[in-house]
Amino acid sequence: MKGAAELDLRLTPGQVESFRVYHRELVTWNQRMNLTAIVDSEGAQVRHFLDSLTVARVLTDPVRDHGRMLDVGAGAGFPGLPLKLMFPGMHLSMLDSVGKKTSFLEHLVETLELEDVDIYNGRAEDLAMRPELRESFDVVVSRGVARMRVLMEYTLPYCRIGGIVVTLKKGGIEPEVSDALHAMEVLAGRIREMRGVTVDGLEDGRALVVVDKVKPTPAKFPRRPGLPTKRPL
């Protein structure tokens, strides 16, 4: 895949084929439901697959080898599924509130014959109260779901103590991150870094925002569905 070498990633022929199948199914399903506006081969490779793989820069070897990752608001599978294809030893869970999107993800996982992948259809606020999901993931990732101040309430409750939340952002994110510092503190997170992404084809101010989970999130969070958006912390 174009640009993967810049991330120090080497794809096997089998992985290249899996990404080709992923793109084919994305194009096919996008004809009958709105998954993404970017479906051309070049655009999908760079702005979906490669963009997702930039998260690899902040993953430790143990997480790459056998860690537990959750993708909140997975949509068409970005960034979680490309990372699973790159690091097949990881256990991946994906959640989305839109049933048509989780149907696509289920189809894709079956088509690609992936193991250790769980898919949940529901609101992030509700699913975070499940004992098997709450504070049980090494890494929680999210792309394009909400502003940081809201996103922290969607993601930090799922992250184990000592784990990280990684959000993919772009374009002058410092004010957005600063605005979210209070929410991080309330939800038991602490900003670790904002790492700029400099990869060929992704020169539009993209960055990874990494947040450490430092202690348990109070049991009352997340609040009921819709409230994090209506009344951000």
Q: What is the CB neighbour count within 10 angstroms for residue 38?
A: 15
Q: Are 95 and 192 in contact (CB under 8 A)?
A: no
- Residue-wise pLDDT tens for the chain (233 aa)? 667 888 999 999 999 999 999 999 999 999 988 888 877 777 778 888 999 999 999 999 999 999 999 999 999 999 999 999 999 999 999 999 999 999 999 999 999 999 999 999 999 999 999 999 999 999 999 998 899 999 999 999 999 999 999 999 988 899 999 999 999 999 999 999 999 988 887 877 899 999 999 999 999 999 999 999 999 99
Q: For the residues of the chain, what is the DSSP string, one character each?
A: -TTGGGGT----HHHHHHHHHHHHHHHHHHTTS-S-S--SHHHHIIIIIIHHHGGGGG--HHHHHH-EEEEET-TTTTTHHHHHHH-TTSEEEEEES-HHHHHHHHHHHHHTT-SSEEEEES-HHHHTTSTTTTT-EEEEEEESSS-HHHHHHHHGGGEEEEEEEEEEEESS-HHHHHHTHHHHHHTTEEEEEEEE--BTTB-S-EEEEEEEE-SPPPTT-S-STTHHHHS--
CATH number of the domain that residue 214 is part of: 3.40.50.150
Q: Which among 186, 183, 205 has a CA at the least distance from the CA of 194?
A: 205
Residue with tokens 């080898």: 65
How high is the pLDDT of residue 228?
A: 95
Full residue range of the structural domain in which residue 37 is found: 4-230
What is the edge-to-edge ordering of all strands in the sheet holding 159-170? 117-121, 91-96, 68-72, 137-143, 159-170, 206-213, 189-196
Number of structural domains in the chain = 1
pTM of the model: 0.95
